[in-house]
Amino acid sequence: MKLNQKTQGILYILGAAFFFALMNLFVRLSGDVPTMQKCFFRNIVAAFGSFLLLNKSQIKIETAKLGGKNMIFLLLRSTAGLLGIICNFYAVDHLPISDASMLNKLSPFFAIIFSAFILKEVAGIKEWGILLVAFAGAMFVVKPSLTMDFLPGLIGMVGGACAGLAYTFVRKLGQRGVLGMIIVFFFSAFSSLVLLPNLILHYTPMSAWQWIALLLAGAAAMGGQMCITMAYTKAPAKEISVYDYAQIVFAAILGFFVLQQIPDRYSIFGYIIILAAAILKWKSAQK
């Protein structure tokens, strides 16, 4: 039985949710490795993996539509995605992984804002109201205060904004005929090259377990990125983005059983508000 585009998008996005939750777990398990170093290994593994898949698919570079505005959009997507990863990994190292995952999952709400400018997909008053509700929920997770204790939460929220911008450009590239596999490889290779000088200058020796954990994080990231890219090239974000919140469930389960992490009551309340906003947004899109 052949699945329609929307169903394929939903299945891809559920797969991405699991892989990204797994990635965050392995990033946390890698211990006190500097954030930028973790980002490098996450991306270099994805770069090699996507290159092998690209080579196996026999897609020719000359037919990959990389010229003109597409190259600009690829660079913008890659820059936003790299900033999002750096912020997310910092949050993962300083917050329960379910909190970090939830803040990163603000990306669909930020995508509403960016889509208005980049895709000319203007949201209605109801969607803007849902956006404000989601941000209110995020405040319970971030927990603003007069001290610096809220900084990891704020950085995690910025990571969600960068991810929302990156996925908006993924949608734009998909509309312009750029294949998902090309987008994944370009982003992974670009990020690896940008992070390489920092790795050379500030490399921190790692134990055998830290090597294994970061390689596994990179493999999970590649799986997640392939799935999320395919998802957003199969269907509009407004139709499938709610299923991305399955990552919170996966992250909470992994955090509890592997790291013995239990979110506090404020975070849980924030989760409920954001999830309710996501469901309202999704139902509104269906209508």
Question: Quick one: pLDDT at residue 155?
Answer: 94
- Give the rounded percent of residues in the chain with a pLDDT score beyond 90: 36
Between CA 91 and CA 86 the distance in angstroms is 9
3-state SS string over the chain? CCCCHHHHHHHHHHHHHHHHHHHHHHHHHCCCCCHHHHHHHHHHHHHHHHHHHHHHHCCCHHHCCCCCHHHHHHHHHHHHHHHHHHHHHHHHHHCCHHHHHHHHCCHHHHHHHHHHHHCCCCCCHHHHHHHHHHHHHHHHHHCCCCCHHHHHHHHHHHHHHHHHHHHHHHHHHHHCCCCHHHHHHHHHHHHHHHHHHHHHHHCCCCCHHHHHHHHHHHHHHHHHHHHHHHHHHHCCHHHHHHHHHHHHHHHHHHHHHHHCCCCCHHHHHHHHHHHHHHHHHHHHHHC
Exposure class string for 128-146: b at 16+ Cβ within 10 A, else e: eebbebbbebbebbbbeee
Q: Is residue 166 part of a domain?
A: yes
Question: Quick one: pLDDT at residue 158?
Answer: 94
**Residue (of 278, 225, 263) closest to 105 by Cα position:** 278
Amino acid at 154: L
Q: Is residue 112 part of a domain?
A: yes
Q: Is residue 110 part of a domain?
A: yes
Burial grade of 267 (CB within 10 A; 0-12, 13-18, 19 or more): buried
- pLDDT digits 0-9 by tens, 226-264: 887 788 778 776 677 778 788 888 888 898 899 998 888
Q: Is residue 130 part of a domain?
A: no
Token output for 125: 């008053």
Number of domain units in the chain = 1
Range of the domain at 219: 5-122+148-261
- pLDDT digits 0-9 by tens, 191-231: 999 999 999 999 999 999 999 999 999 999 888 878 877 88
Q: Is residue 136 part of a domain?
A: no
Question: Quick one: pLDDT at residue 84?
Answer: 95
Q: Is residue 129 part of a domain?
A: no
- Give the rounded percent of residues in the chain with a pLDDT score beyond 70: 93
- pLDDT digits 0-9 by tens, 261-270: 888 888 888 8
Question: Quick one: pLDDT at residue 159?
Answer: 94
Longest Cα separation, the chain: 57
- Distance spanning both ends of the chain, measured CA to CA: 27
Q: Is residue 132 part of a domain?
A: no
Between CA 129 and CA 123 the distance in angstroms is 10
- pLDDT digits 0-9 by tens, 132-181: 888 888 888 888 775 667 899 999 999 999 999 998 998 888 888 888 78
Question: Quick one: pLDDT at residue 201?
Answer: 94
Asked whether residue 43 carries a pLDDT value surpassing 80, the answer given is yes
Asked whether residue 129 carries a pLDDT value surpassing 80, the answer given is yes
CA 1 to chain CA mean position, Å: 30
Q: Which residue has the higher pLDDT, 59 or 92?
A: 92
pLDDT category of residue 189 using cuts at 50, 70 and 90: very high
Q: Is residue 138 part of a domain?
A: no
Asked whether residue 61 carries a pLDDT value surpassing 60, the answer given is no
Average pLDDT, the chain: 86
Question: Quick one: pLDDT at residue 238?
Answer: 67
Asked whether residue 6 carries a pLDDT value surpassing 90, the answer given is no
Judge contact between 170 and 232, C-beta under 8 A.
yes
Q: Which residue has the higher pLDDT, 226 or 189?
A: 189
Arithmetic mean of pLDDT, 272-286: 80
pLDDT category of residue 72 using cuts at 50, 70 and 90: very high
